[in-house]
Amino acid sequence: MRVTELYLAMQGELRRVEEILEEEVASREPALQDASLYLLRAGGKRLRPLVVLVSGRFGRQGDGESLARAAAALEMIHMATLVHDDVIDRAETRRGRPTVKAAWGDQLALYTGDFLLARALELLSEVADRRLHEVTARAIAHMCRGELEQMHDLYRVEQPLLRYFRRIRQKTALLMAVSCLVGARVARADEAAVRALWRFGGHLGMAFQIVDDVLDFTGSEAVLGKPVASDLLQGNLTLPVLLAVREEALGRRLAERIRPGMTADEVAKVAKAVTACGAVERAKQVAHRYVERARRDLAPLPYEWGREAMEAVLGFVAARDR
């Protein structure tokens, strides 16, 4: 199965998720509603809702409406993190459009993120599952910690690789793992399936983020919807850069160039050196190893439609170009 076929097969459920998202961002405060709808209608892959819905196929209680509402909640948590990240990173564009921060300013962007997070938690509260809420709350706390660690490590070329991996686990992989867990638990999947899907989601999220970091060097602004090497420009040193600075001679030169206040031309030169030394290809290999781990995580699950669908998601993450 290809991921395009999966989206086609799930279009009814995903359409219901979109309807719920539109309903839930309604507010008596017009500015909050407008900013939330602006972000919602910017589109996106809706990968986390898709993962929630597919994970629900491994359960014994396939309540489609409950799964759709849980899927919408996970997307709203993701949307909230995007708005907050754009404020912290001073990002002007996302998906080829001005960010909420750029269009409405920092203050309203922060309130919009808080609003989306609150509505997401309100939606999830409909699920009577204490464990689900504990894990989700812990993941949100870790996401905040990951963002703080990223702020502390801006332009820090000597940071350990382990710190990078911990950061992307907290910022990206945990929410993907939670998406799998939420779908499985809402549908009352057995504990063995829940554990397998949790591990799968974590490794899927790690691969997703590393591929995203690679695309920051190999993509184009027209496709990515944001400037190439935008992370580097903001001082966020991702895996390709951290691998490049570990090359003795090149590392010294890059360490001298990577600093606050870099011009776009300086960033372009660093990005070219990172790509030329093979660090981008090595980062791709690391992503591939996480893809293989995720594939092994699926092995205990019964080979039926749900597992085939998860393999399609995994294939999309491994091969994506945007």
Domains and CATH numbers, the chain: 3-205+302-319 (1.10.600.10)
Over residues 110-115, mean pLDDT: 95
Question: 186-202 in b/e burial notation, b at 16+ Cβ within 10 A?
Answer: bbebeeebbebbbbbbb
- One-letter amino acid at 262 equals M
- One-letter amino acid at 160 equals P
User: At 38, is the pLDDT very low, low, confident or very high (cuts 50, 70, 90)?
Assistant: very high
| CA–CA distance, 203 with 294 (Å, rounded to integer) | 5
Tell me: the pLDDT tens digits for 160-184?
A: 999 999 999 999 999 999 999 999 9
Asked if residue 35 lies in contact with residue 109, where contact means CB atoms within 8 angstroms, the answer is yes
Nearest one of 207, 208, 226 to 216, comparing CA atoms: 226
Q: What is the pLDDT of residue 313?
A: 97
Beta-bridge partner residues of 98: 93
Bridge-based pairing of strands 97-98 and 93-94 is antiparallel
User: At 13, is the pLDDT very low, low, confident or very high (cuts 50, 70, 90)?
Assistant: very high
Asked if residue 23 lies in contact with residue 289, where contact means CB atoms within 8 angstroms, the answer is no
Inform me whether the pLDDT recorded for 220 exceeds 80: no
Over residues 26-54, mean pLDDT: 92
